[in-house]
Structure 1
Amino acid sequence: MLPLGGSHAVAEGQAVLLVAHADVTTQRLTRDTTRAIFAMRQRTWPDGQAARVFVLPNDNPVHERFVKERLAVYPHQLQLAWDRMVFSGTGQAPDRVRHQAEMLERIATTPGAMGYLEREYLDDRIQVISMD
């Protein structure tokens, strides 16, 4: 197996990658920008295109790994931010999907979409976004 760059080995398996719809022009994001988009505080890609965020259930191990390792927050902190926006009427929660296969389909068919997947789920309909 090929090493996954600067990513440290994960006991449960491989790294979880940030992915986007093929039409997204942004190639890399900072952790802060990625966190702002997933927290639904920033609703667009850096180029101004509307961002559509997809996430797995909070108790999904892939969701937990992505949020902790890539966003450096805990799943319950993200959920709290979403709940606050929904209940105050200032925003909405991201679209939730049941599993990685559904995540792949939704990102591949939704312009401006972003989410996360393990490497084995990638195909040529989506792209990996690098994170600084």
Structure 2
Amino acid sequence: MRAIVRQLFASTLLCLAAGACAGADIVVVVSSRSPLAALRMDQVAALFLSQEARFPDGSAAVPLDQPVGTALRDQFYQKVTGKTPAMLKAYWSKMVFTGRGQPARDLAGNAAVRKAVAGNLAMIGYIDRDALDDSVRPVLVIH
């Protein structure tokens, strides 16, 4: 079993390094009604790693995640935090155990994340660029 996991991990890293599995751009979105115009990569990482609970203007921030195991989620965390799925699992185990944080709530996909974010000024999520519409505003584009 470990050999299979190592092989999958190695092939995923190779794929990411070569850009062959990069797919479309990922956009970090907030409600179109939000006053927030842009965020830096480190600010997004802090929000999604439960190191920060507020947007730069001081308002509450509630991150929303894509489903576990999806390519979009794996790419987002790899590009924004530098963490692989295994590293994230270990990170969250430690954070939850020590009471320092909880992972973002998982939603069913692009449409669910977009709908939830559009309806709540405190929410922030990420979706495929192709799923972007006028109900949400991109605050960071990840290539």
Q: Bin the TM-score by the shorter chain.
A: 0.7 to 0.9
Deviation of 1:10 after TM superposition, in Å, equals: 5.6
Moved over 3 A (4+): 9-12
> Which moves more between the two structures, 69-78 or 92-101?
69-78
The two structures have a TM-score, normalised by structure 2, of 0.75
Identify which of 64, 78, 83 aligns with 1:68.
78
Q: Distance in 1 between matches of 2:135 and 2:20?
A: 26
Structure 2 residue identity aligned to 1:89 = G
The answer on whether the counterparts of 1:22 and 1:108 sit within 8 Å (CA) in structure 2 is: yes
Aligned mate of 2:38, from 21, 28, 31: 28
CA distance in 1, matches of 2:101, 2:23: 34
Label 1:12 to 1:91 Cα distance change in 2 as closer, same or farther (>3 A).
Answer: closer
What root-mean-square deviation, in Å, do the aligned CA atoms of Structure 1 and Structure 2 show?
Answer: 2.3
Instruction: Specify the code of the residue in structure 2 equivalent to 1:16.
Output: I
Paired residues in the alignment total 125
Residue 112 of structure 2, aligned match among 56, 77, 102: 102
Whole-angstrom CA distance in 2 between matches of 1:112 and 1:78: 24
Q: Distance in 2 between matches of 1:12 and 1:30?
A: 20
Once the two structures are TM-superposed, the CA of residue 122 in structure 1 deviates from its matched residue by 0.9
* 1:84 positional shift: 2.1
The aligned runs of 1:34-49 (5 Å cut-off) are 34-49=44-59
Structure 2 unmatched runs, 5+:
1-18
User: How far 1:54 sits from its partner (Å)?
Assistant: 0.5
User: 1:92 corresponds to which residue?
Assistant: 102
Residue in structure 2 matched with residue 16 of structure 1 by the alignment? 26
Larger radius of gyration: 2
Quote the sequence identity (%): 24
Q: CA deviation at 1:98?
A: 1.9
Between the aligned partners of 2:92 and 2:114, the Cα distance in structure 1 is: 22
